Amino acid sequence: MDPCPFVRLTVGNLALKIPVATKPARSVVHPSSSPCFCKIKLKSFPLQTAVVPYIPPENQFPENQVQTIAATFHLSKTDLGSLTAKSIFGGKLSLKIAIYTGRTGAACGVNSGRLLGKVLVPLDLSGVESRPFVFHNGWISVGKEALKDSSAQFHLNVKAEPDPRFVFQFDGEPECSPQVFQIQGNIRQPVFTCKFSFRSTGDRNQRSRLVYI
């Protein structure tokens, strides 16, 4: 039986460039001396947070660099159907990224980061089950000065690629040594049986299992 179609959506190669002001405000902490981070959101999937490295304004992002993954979303066929479904209440599907200067987390119930800007990357997931696709790779201007040459620049790579997987399901409780089925859509095909045992009472209490196939 063929594997089930899955898609891996990755966000990586993050970097931030912020021009140094001629007369910087005393209250502003420049990202060169304080870490930056971003929050990455894809519709109903859990929010992911990643550190954003700072590079000097005069530097360029290294070409052909091995991708550093900041966030990954694993999408099943059901997920893809939900994400691509048209809704009368929503617009086109986008990956939402909010960039912050300062440290991640909160102090005394108040977020310690200061919002620098937000980025929307449009996603068209049609056909990504069979071929890789790059949605964005390069710099984006962010912040209030986004249309000016003095704006902050945020670098990212967003791509999707097929990630087919074999899916298995127990036909009953694992403790009862059930038969294992391979799943593809509504098709269930028996592939093997398994037996679980405990090496000691401590293992039983921890529900640690050994599988014999």
Supply the CATH number for residue 93's domain.
2.60.40.150
Do 111 and 52 share a structural domain?
yes
Do 119 and 103 share a structural domain?
yes
Q: Is residue 185 part of a domain?
A: yes
Do 154 and 182 share a structural domain?
no
Q: Is residue 1 part of a domain?
A: no
For the whole prediction, is pTM greater than 0.85?
A: no
Average per-residue pLDDT for the chain: 76
Do 103 and 23 share a structural domain?
yes
**Total Cβ atoms within 10 A of residue 7:** 23
Cα–Cα distance measured from residue 190 to residue 168, given in angstroms and rounded to the nearest whole number: 9
86-111 pLDDT tens trace: 766 667 899 999 999 876 665 544 55
User: Helix, strand, or coil here: 84?
Assistant: helix
Domain with 176 in it: 167-212
- Which residues sit opposite 95 in a β-bridge? 121
Do 202 and 158 share a structural domain?
no
